């Protein structure tokens, strides 16, 4: 890396540092707000954390100009991470998409069994 290039990178690192500090303050501040929906608060918190994470990963860890093999490995990892993370939430789902696939409601209008009736 040439010296000019390095100076440019140094500026970026310190700007990211400043941004991270601001976002940390924001994270704490937002936690005091009472959201009308619980999941909204969760989402906002996660978004701010993700922005901070993205800054660290792309700038400090140089992920934004990393090589393809690393990207590939990380994308596969992240997919499995989300599978592991969110699967427990869907454990009791009884349908795929919309519908009421639960057993109680599927069988209806079954005609009564009357036996052979002498035939």
Binding residues for other proteins, per CB under 8 A?
Answer: 1, 3, 6, 9-10, 13-14, 16-17, 20-21, 24, 27-28, 31, 41-42, 45-46, 48-49, 52-53, 56-57, 60-61, 67, 69-70, 73-74, 76-78, 80-81, 83-85, 87-96, 101-103
The 3-state secondary structure of 22-36 reads HHHHHHHHHHCCCCC
Shortest distance, CB of residue 111 to other proteins, whole angstroms?
A: 24
Q: Give the integer Cα–Cα distance in Å for 93 and 48.
A: 30
> Which residue number, 88 or 115, has a Cβ lying nearer to other proteins?
88
Cβ atoms of 33 and 41 within 8 Å: the answer is yes
Shortest distance, CB of residue 37 to other proteins, whole angstroms?
A: 13
User: CA dist 59 to 6, 105, 110, Å?
Assistant: 13, 53, 64
């Amino acid at each position: 890396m040439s010296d000019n290039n390095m100076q440019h990178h140094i500026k970026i690192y310190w700007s990211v540092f400043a941004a991270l500090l601001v976002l940390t303050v924001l994270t704490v501040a937002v936690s005091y707000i009472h959201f009308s929906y619980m999941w909204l608060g969760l989402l906002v918190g996660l978004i701010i954390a993700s922005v901070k994470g993205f800054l660290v990963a792309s700038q400090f860890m140089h992920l934004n100009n990393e090589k393809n093999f690393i990207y590939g490995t990380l994308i596969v990892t992240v997919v499995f991470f989300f599978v592991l993370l969110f699967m427990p939430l869907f454990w009791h789902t009884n349908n795929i998409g919309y519908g009421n696939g639960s057993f109680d409601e599927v069988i209806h209008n079954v005609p009564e069994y009357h036996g052979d009736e002498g035939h």
